[in-house]
Structure 1
Amino acid sequence: MNTRRKSFAIATGAMAAATVIGAGPAGAQEAPAAPAPEQAEQAPVDGALEDAAPEAQQDTPADDTTGEAAPAEGDAEAPGAECGLDAEAIAEETPAPEDFEGDFPGWTVENVASSCGNLGAVELSTEGATGSSPTKVVLVNAGTPTKTQPEGNTTLGQQFFDFAAVVNEKQAPEGDDPNAEAPQTQSIYVWNPLAGDVVGAPIPAGSSI
């Protein structure tokens, strides 16, 4: 009887050990985790890009590709500044008319034409001028006054091809005639690059350029 119980116990223990041993390799491996479901890309909310656009935009004017702020209207350079022309200095350095009686009030810049061209001009008028006040044309080349200058009471006529200018020359009035009715002649001044100066020639009366 004892022998049968001992054999039964041994057989039962062997079966239990076989079960544990057989389950070892397979049962030791953990089941692979289930793949996480892919998250669907979330469509942008309507208007999100529009709301973000102003924050990404720079404070640069649409027509300015350099990124520099456009100059204010009052910061614009005077005509001829890019080539070194100083019209105000020319006005201060131009002497008073030889036949002016009394204290000359000085010249003021009336107009600047083709300041940086081969032949340009600075028109001067008398400060506080009236219709009979003196005027003056100063010819310039690339912003620098030329050696030869029109004499007398002059105004600017026309510009041609960036190298020639017509100058109106007001003559002294005859007799008791007022200055406003003084006769006027014209001369043409042409820039001569070989001489580095202008050459002037009168325009015959009745002729046109």
Structure 2
Amino acid sequence: MMRRFEGTRLLVATHNAGKLEEMRALLAPYGVEVVGAAEMSLPEPAETEDNFVGNARIKAHAAVAATGLPALSDDSGISVDALDGAPGVYTADWAETGNGRDFAIAMERTWQELEARDAPSPRSAQFRCTLVLAWPDGHDEVFEGVLPGQVVWPPRGAEGHGYDPIFMPDGHKITLGEMEPEAKNAISHRAVAVAKLLEACFA
């Protein structure tokens, strides 16, 4: 039995302003006040696990411990089957340059590693999002969303962010980078995970 969220304030353990606003809008109908990690001056904890659930749990429980508020965190990325699931939890790390993140470099690396392995087509992959909602008593609930598709080359489209221009979802002829934001948000891995969260804990 899933635990329902009965509080009025929820800490969203992210320093990403876009993610924060997205969650604020989604939770507004339920009368929940959303605060962000930056507003609470929280540091970003070291993500030491090798899987999305583990890292999301680290972030959620660290935020709870620091503030005493229930907290929601997410960990997400792209897993490419022919690369044994990489980059996975290292999705953002592949874009690090020393001067911020450059996802053009990350996409190039992904394709070059597929070429080096002579991976057969279609080069299947999944965007994955794991949400963890944690309470001050240590309890948590986990929700996972998956968007299956394939990696394509060259990159296409200027919408979206990250690896979107090289990811074509199953059942579609365009990449996430070519999709209108509303269309992408309707099918995204995060949308799937959030829908599960809202139904289980807020609806």
When the two structures are superposed, what TM-score results if normalisation uses the length of structure 1? 0.25
- Which structure has the larger Rg over C-alpha atoms? 1
Higher RCO (CA-CA < 8 Å; seq separation 6+): 2
Q: Which has the larger helix fraction?
A: 2
